[in-house]
Each structure stands twice: as structure tokens, then as C-alpha cells.
Structure 1
Amino acid sequence: MDGGVLSRYGLVSPPVIFCLVLGASFVVADLYFYGVLGKLPCQASNCSSTVPRPSVKLMMQDHMCHHVHHYAAEAFESYTHLSELPFITPNFITTMHIFVGAFGAYLVSSENFKIRQIAVGVCQFRIFLDMLDGVVFRRQLKHSMYVNGWGTLGYYIDAGADILASFLLVYGLFIYLVRQPPRRSEGLPLRTSPPEPITDMPVSRSTIQLTLILCLIQGCLRGLFWDRYQFAFHSIFNKVLHHKADAMLQARIFNSPLTRFVLWCWKLSSAEGMLGFVYASIFLDFVWPMLIVLRKYGFIQLGVVVIISQLHAWQIGELLGKAA
């Protein structure tokens, strides 16, 4: 490791430019998405709880899954009618993305930077398949709402597959970092002076293990809390309220800036959101500093978002409970 693409080439290298353009496109896509939300009929004076609203899950989905994989999977299904094939089931696709994830993790462990960049593409294809199994599940059940199938066998299989894929990725990173141990100076803030001899020593194997284990635990916690609050907000905003005044209050809360902000925070705070930063760091050969940042500050950031989400869920639950 020698500091990553950014330190070697600055902002003019193709990988850095690609990531900057992708990030900017996500900002534009978010602005467009929330601009469209502001024009939905659920803000009208005749609003009722039966008026379709955007999926809470989609509003909490990380940027790559929301703006790329979700629409790509929907388009692929519409073009191929994959769900109509008798041998295609959501669990079959889930099994496929486990093997793709294992192959991606194997490539991540490579000492060749170009192969690790290819690994990021393979891992993104795994996520596309993960989105596709949900599309097929909804099409086969004639279900249009983009929401988790809580309690179903497929829900647990899909969750288990995601955890397994994350474990394999962490294992691939462990092999790579043991083969090419990062220097201690790589986990320090940016500096202009040469590193001190003690900070330029290789990171120990135990430190690598501890960092990766903490990141894996953090990823699992992010997945659990994301699913918890997705279920909580979905239950609140999809509850049928028969009185017009109550339904209008429900719609106003749903479209309030605070609710949108809380849901948007989970785009960055979900397990997939965290993985997005890890994939970017692999693509830019900057993975160890990113893991150090996640280890030091990730739990704090997650805790803040959880507290804000819980307080907001309590508040709107009490308001709508009184209204009902």
C-alpha cells in the first residue's frame, strides 16, 4: 500500500473522477426524487390514507441500491419477464448472489490493485441480484409495494445471504491486509511531514483482525436497526386512518422535512450504505484508512441516527395514536 489513488494521482485519475461524478449524480437524483415527492397528491386537501405513497424502504435505501440497482432490476424484469419462468424463484436468485459474493470476496483478497477494482464490480453485481430477487418476489405475488416480506422464509434466507456475503467480504479483506499489511501512518490524519519511524511500521495482524471484526459487528447492527426503523415507519405511515383529518395529519407528517431527513439519514447509515463506502475505498485503494474511520467514528454516527429515529418514531406514533 502506498496511500491510494488519491495520494498518487490527485483528483485527475479516472477512478477518482468516476467516484466524484457518481457522488454528484446521487445528489442530483436525491434532489429530483424529493422534488417529485413534493408534488404527490397526498399533500392535497382531499388526502386520505388510501392515497399511494412512496415506499419507506425506498426512501431509506442506500444511494447505489435506490438510484441504480433498484431501477436496473425493475427494468431487467420488465424486459425479460424473468418472474414468469417456472424454475426461477427468489430463493434461487438469492443462492446465485451468494456464489457471486464469494467470487467477489476472492478477488478482493488479491494483491493486484486492478483485480480488486474488478472485485468491486462483481460485488455490485451481487447487490443487483439481491435487488432482483425482491423484484421477482413482488411480481410473483402481484405485490406492487416495495417493502420487506417480514416473517417469511424468503426474508430470513435473504438476510442470511447478506450476512454471509458481508462475512466473506471481510474475510477477503483480511487476507489482503495480511498479505500487504498497511503502515500505521495510513490510519493517521493527513500530514505534510514525513512519517515518524514508529508510525511507519506495519500494522499488526491482531489490529487488522480487531478492526475487521468491529466493522463486521457494526455492519450487522446497521442492518438490524435499519430494518427495525423501516418496519416502524412503514407501520406508522401505511396505517389506514378512516377520518379525513387524521389522514391529512398522517400525510403532513410523512411529507415533513424532519421525516424526510430522518429517512434520508438511513441511506448513509444502513449496512449497504456502509458497504458503499468500503467498496469506494477498495476501488480507490484507500481501504485501511476507511476501515479506521468506521472503527473510530462509525458506532457514534450510528448511535446518533438511532436516537434521532427513535425519538421521531415515538413522537409521530403518539401524535397519530391520539388522532386514531
Structure 2
Amino acid sequence: MIGPSSQISKLLLTLLLLLMVWYIYMDVNLYMRVQNYPIDRGSIYDNVTFSYSDVAWISCDINPLCDVTVKALLLDHTNHYLFSPLAVIVDNLLKIDDVLWITPNMISFFHVFVAILSAKCISSDSLAYRRIGVLLFEVRTFLDDMDGHVARARKHIKGERSEVGTAGYYIDGICDGLGCIALMIGAFVFLKSNPPRRGYMQLPTTASPSEKEKDTMVYKAKVTTKKVVIKIVCYSIQLIISSAAWNRYIALYQTLLESNDVNLDTYNRQTIVYQSSVFFSVAWLWRIFNVHNLLHCLLLAVFCDKLWEFLKAIQYAGFGVLLGAICVAEIHVADVKDFIYRRIVSF
């Protein structure tokens, strides 16, 4: 184990509380930034006479509040407020953007290797190795941010955006999927080797168990493996649903709110939606329930040695929560389409 268990628990709890306070603080600032300062969308109608960069006390190069985009609003807190600025800092130090032979796709392929190494550690019986696996998968997540940063920097794209339909978009998605598959396989191998304790049959104390005891042990093992498979499959399906829905709403909202080939009236309506509390609330909902945040929760459960308890708690509840979030987003998308394109006066 990495350090005494009580010390690790106290340190982890303190870190979680600090992160939660930091995320809430940044969310409040993000909402105020959207409400009070113009959003530069690269449109001819943009009013840039007074921008957020004029009052920001941190350089916009690493400030996640400067370049507001649809994807940034739907991005989970850890990626938006920690890994994305860190990717910029690392790039500024190492000048990865200037090394042309290092392509974003190469970084994507490399973080699949890191994910496989992480899964190997997570499948271990040792809690110390599993915690190392968690840290490795977070490194993979950081590299996922890095490949996107390098791709945008070389195309001079400001802010978080998904270039839907490009080769890089699909390669990045495939590599992310492979990383998630590796993680779930690692979790399955660990749980299969270390099944849940409730309902256990105590191992026989005799050197040679009877045939009846052997049959019972085999039956118990089969039942336990079946339960593990069900839990892993259910959570994997939730990850797929979350990923598909999250990417869908990023694409839809980008089309609705960030299209520049529009007239002034439509642009003004886009701005109204962008600054509405309803849109911010829907975006915040997907900050919490997008696939990246679900993976962070899974990794936290592994780190705390509560993987089985977490999978059991979310096995069915997760589907209900995702269905609710999808329903809310679908209703809002329909309302936004009506408001922007059908000239409905009230929103």
C-alpha cells in the first residue's frame, strides 16, 4: 500500500474537498464571465471592444475562463480546470507544438499504451499497484487533453472545440474507446480474482475438500463471476450511453450556437441562449454525467478500494440518471431550435 491507509484516506478526503471547493468557485466565475463579458466566436458580429481578457488576472493562455465554447461548458471539471491548463503549460515548456514529427494522433496512440499499462496495474491484488494504475489512467486522460491541445494549436483554433467528422476526431474517439475497454477489463480481472465478500463460502480447513465441497466452491465461483460480469457490463453500457449522448449534444449545440454564417438577428438569438441560465444548467448537468466524469468516479472507487460497492450502487441508478439527463437535454435542444430558427419570441 502507498503509505498508511489512514493517512492516505485523510489526504484523499482533504484533496477531494479542496477540489470540490475549487470547482464550485470556478463554475461561479464561469457563469459570471458568460453573463457579463462578450464571447468571441470569430463572427463579424462579435463585440470585442471590451473582453474578459482585459480584467483576467491570469493570462488567457492558461485561463480556462477566457475562451468560452460549447464544448468547454460541457467538459468535466477536471479536464476543463486542471488538465487543459496543464497541457498548455507543458506545451509551453517542452514546445511539443513545434515538434512537427509528434502528431496529435501519435499522442492518442501512446495514451492507449498508457491505458493498457494502467489496466494491468488495476487488475493487481495489491492496492498499491491499483493506486498506481489509477494515477497512470489519469496520465492517460491528461495525454488525451494534450493531443487535442496540439491539434488546435497547429490549426490556430482558440478554446475547446470538437471538429466533428475529421479523421483526428474519429482516431481520438477510437483511442479513447480502447483505453476505456482496457480499464474495464482490468477492473473485471481484479473483481474476478477478488470477488465480493458477502455470500462467501468459507474455504475448507481440510487439506482435501470433499467432492460436495468442491462442487459448492465451483458453483459459488460461477455465481460470483456472473455477478461481476453483470456489474462490469452495466457500467460499460452506461459509459457508452454517456459518451454517445455527450458527443451528440456537443455537436448539436455547436451547430446551433457557434455557426457564423448567420444574420445579425440569429446571432443575437444565439447569444441570448448562450447567456441563459437554462443552457448553463443543462451544460453543467453534462459536466457531471459525461463519460470523463464517470471514469473519474470509477478511478476514485478503485483508489479507495471500493470498486465493487461503487459498481453495485450505480448498476441500475446510473441508467435512470443518464435517461433523465438525456430527456432534459433533448427538450432544451428542441426549444433552442424553435427559438433560433422559428422566431419564437419567448425563450
* TM band (smaller chain): 0.7 to 0.9
Structure with the greater alpha carbon radius of gyration:
2
CA–CA separation in structure 1 for the residues paired with 2:91 and 2:331: 39
Counterpart residue number, 1:106: 120
Q: How does 1:1-324 map to 2 (within 5 A)?
A: 13-41=10-38, 49-51=45-47, 54-184=68-198, 204-240=224-260, 243-323=263-343
Q: Which amino acid aligns with 1:131?
A: D
For residue 169 of structure 1, report the CA deviation from its aligned partner.
0.5
Question: In structure 1, the residue corresponding to 2:109 is in which secondary structure?
Answer: helix
Q: Which moved more, 1:124-133 or 1:202-211?
A: 202-211
Contact 1:50-1:240 at 8 Å conserved across structures: no
TM-score relative to the length of structure 1: 0.86
Q: State the one-letter code of the partner of 2:28.
A: L
**How has the CA–CA distance of structure 1 residues 280 and 299 changed in structure 2, closer, same or farther, with 3 Å as cutoff?**
same
Q: For structure 2, list consecutive stretches of 5 or more residues without a partner in the other structure.
A: 49-66, 200-219
The CA RMSD measured in Å over matched residues stands at 2.5
Query: By how many angstroms is 1:137 displaced?
Result: 0.6
CA distance in 2: counterparts of 1:125 and 1:261, whole angstroms:
29
Does structure 1 retain, via aligned residues, the 8 Å contact 2:72–2:159?
Answer: no
Report 1 or 2 for greater relative contact order, CA contacts < 8 Å, sequence distance ≥ 6.
Answer: 1
- Residue 153 of structure 1 deviates from its aligned partner by 1.2
Change (3 A) 1:51 1:15: same
Q: Structure 2 length as normaliser, TM-score? A: 0.80
Q: Distance in 1 between matches of 2:224 and 2:168?
A: 40
Cα 1:323/1:75, change in 2 over 3 Å: farther
CA contact (8 A) 2:266 2:341 kept: no
Identity %: 23
Moved more, 289-298 or 202-211: 202-211
Q: Deviation digits for residues 160-209 of structure 1, max 9, x if unmatched?
A: 11111111101101111111111348xxxxxxxxxxxxxxx987111101
Aligned partner letter, 1:304: G
The alpha-carbon distance between structure 1 residues 21 and 148, as it changes in their structure 2 partners (threshold 3 A), is: same
Q: Which amino acid aligns with 1:163?
A: G
* Structure-2 separation of matches of 1:86 and 1:243: 39
Shift of 1:244: 4.0
* Structure-2 separation of matches of 1:139 and 1:12: 39
Distance (whole Å) between structure 2 residues aligned to residue 126 and residue 26 of structure 1:
21
* Unpaired stretches in structure 1, ≥5 consecutive residues: 1-7, 186-200
Deviation of the 1:48 alpha carbon: 7.5
1:12 is displaced (CA, Å) by: 6.4
